[in-house]
Structure formats: C-alpha cells, structure tokens
Amino acid sequence: MALHMIKLAAGAESIESFTEWQQHVMQQRRAAGLSANPVHETRMMPKRGAEIINGGSMYWVIKHKICLRQRIIEIERVEIEGAPKFCLIHFDPELVPVHVKVKRPFQGWRYLKDSDVPPDISPSSPAPADTPIHLELALKEAGVW
C-alpha cells in the first residue's frame, strides 16, 4: 500500500488560486528548460520516500480543509556546495479533488495515515464534483452526507 503525505498550501485562498500558483510554477520551470512538472521544495528528506513514490500522493490543505491530492512522482535530494541540503518533491500536474475533510493547522509536511485519506470525488460520488466546499462541509456537519 502506498504512503501519502499532507501539506498546507501556504498562501492559497482557494482551489483556484492554488491551481494558478501551480500553473505559474510549471511555466517558470519550462522557461528554465526544466521538466514542466510542478515541484515543492522542503528542507527535510522523507525517510520513507520509496513508499511514497510507489503510488503515494500529496494531500493539499487549503484554508484548514483537505481539498486536493496530487500524485508524487519523484523525491530528489539536492546538494549545492555552500548551501544547506534540501529536497524537491516532484508532482504529476493533475490535481484530483477529494471530499473535503477539516484539518487542524500544522507545520511542514506529515505522513498521512490510510484511515485519514479522504476519497476522491468521482462521477459516482454521492454529490456532484462541483459542490461548493462550504456546502459539502455543511451537509457533513448536519449528518446528511
């Protein structure tokens, strides 16, 4: 079974603003002659990286809610002389909406337990994929969904 990660989408106000930010990152990488896949830079190298790249995803938290996931395709250690080591997490560009789940604030990234992974939103989901996040949360809180 794949191991997943969770990370706050710092600065993102909505799924749309997060999507725009990722598009910007991909444009910058293309212009620099690099792979167009989006990346995230982090200081800490995941010790369980082999488990993550074997089908794992990054679950993105926007405004205290897990909203999206993105498949992790590579974890790269970067060492530049005279600079601290860091790690680049490479993603598949596809952002997959998931059923919203409230998440308390935390710092950095964390591993995500299978029991905490929200399901993807698909055509067979109990509500249409375009259900606003606030409505989905209200339905869940009311016990309707």
What six digits make up the tokens of 123? 């055509």
- The pLDDT value recorded for residue 79 is 85
Please tell me what DSSP assigns to residue 115.
G
- The pLDDT value recorded for residue 129 is 54
- The pLDDT value recorded for residue 94 is 94
12: nearest Cα among 60, 77, 59 = 60
pTM to 2 decimal places: 0.83
- The pLDDT value recorded for residue 9 is 93
Reduce the DSSP state of residue 51 to 3 states and report it.
Answer: helix
Question: In whole angstroms, what is the distance from residue 10 CA to residue 51 CA?
Answer: 25
Q: Which residues of the chain have pLDDT under 50?
A: none
